[in-house]
Structure 1
Amino acid sequence: MNNSHNSTTGTNVLDTAAANGTFKTFGKAVEQAGLSETLRGPGPFTIFAPTDSAFDKLPAGKLENLMKPENKAELVSILNYHVVSGRKSAADVGKWEAARTINGQSAPIKLVDNKVVIDGAQVTTADIGSSNGVIHGIDKVNLPSATELKQ
């Protein structure tokens, strides 16, 4: 049995993101938030994963602050705002007006020039398949509204 075709489909969303190489910060954030086991679980998940350059666009100090143990709840909330239950292609998502994230908040969706935009973040790499879901790379870190976060 030749398993070479399983390079993306045989691994879970988290390991697939890690192998992609443009989601290193996302992977570190998931580890810090304690969500690794969940995202390696059965799913399926649709993850709108901010690229490393998307994380670079955050205000200075924001990411470092989020990575502190005392801010774990906020980090979890933000990461969960990038995850939708089920395996949804960009074409599927593009038909929606909003995505119900596992954070509990809906993220508005628009099609702009045939590209999916979720809460202002454009999908730059669509439909990266994995064993327990699909990843869409996005160019911005979406922040849920502050009312959902404990101050």
Structure 2
Amino acid sequence: MISTKVVSSLKSALLSVFVVFAVSACSAQAKHHESMHEKPKQNIVEIAAGNPDFSTLVAAVKAAGLVETLQGKGPFTVFAPTNEAFAKLPAGTVESLLQPENKDQLVAILTYHVVPGKVMAKDVVGLTEATTAQGSVISIDTTNGVKVDNANVVATDIEASNGVIHVIDSVIIP
């Protein structure tokens, strides 16, 4: 038979282990909760520059002279075409747009991908159009997924310190 003293010691040990686990779990949960509410540290340009899928977009933003603007306070919503999206354009289009003599056209195309303000995915669902930084209106269709003009939104809510990025699979042209 197990003595009362051993049972009591075993209960104390188990209670101690339980308390340690409970405190650890609460601490981990609190850290996770804090990190979910931290403001992103990188701006839109820094996030794009850090992702190899956006190297063509970053080159275009640099050629257009929009780096400083998109690093500004914002907030901005950027519908960011991937390298694959740029590759869908007719051969030679990207190279031509990157030439200094085509800077105005490049600026118009890139600012057509930017909506002033921070529009999260949950907000896009309620919209049918949005006015871009370029001044034109883009159409938004949420019938089957989300489309901005003719581009599918393939990733959403990449938060930056000065706005949000939604990834699209085609370049949209004003």
Whole-Å Cα distance in 2 between the matches of residues 107 and 131 of structure 1? 24
**Matched position secondary structure for 1:16:** helix
Whole-Å Cα distance in 2 between the matches of residues 76 and 60 of structure 1? 20
1:45 and 2:70 correspond: no
Q: Which residue of 2 aligns with 1:84?
A: 115
Give the alignment's TM-score, normalised by structure 2. Answer: 0.77
Q: Which residue of 2 aligns with 1:149?
A: none
Q: Which residue of 2 aligns with 1:62?
A: 93
C-alpha RMSD of matched pairs (Å): 1.8
**Matched position secondary structure for 1:22:** helix
Q: Which residue of 2 aligns with 1:142?
A: 172
**Matched position secondary structure for 1:137:** strand
Note if contact 1:90-1:116 (Cα within 8 Å) is conserved in structure 2: no
**TM superposition shift of 1:8:** 8.4
Whole-Å Cα distance in 1 between the matches of residues 61 and 46 of structure 2? 11
Q: Which residue of 2 aligns with 1:120?
A: 150
1:61 to 1:112, Cα distance in 2 relative to 1, 3 A: same
**Matched position secondary structure for 1:125:** strand
Could you tell me which amino acid in structure 2 is paired with residue 138 of structure 1? I
Residue from 112, 129, 135 that aligns with 1:104: 135
Residue from 39, 43, 67 that aligns with 1:36: 67
Give the alignment's TM-score, normalised by structure 1. Answer: 0.88
Unpaired segments ≥5 residues, structure 1: 145-151
Q: Which residue of 1 aligns with 2:40?
A: 9
Residue from 29, 47, 52 that aligns with 1:21: 52
Q: Deviations over 1:25-81 (max 9, x none)?
A: 111100000000000000000000001100000000111110000000000000000
Structure with greater helix percent = 2
Q: Which has the larger radius of gyration?
A: 2
Note if contact 1:13-1:132 (Cα within 8 Å) is conserved in structure 2: yes
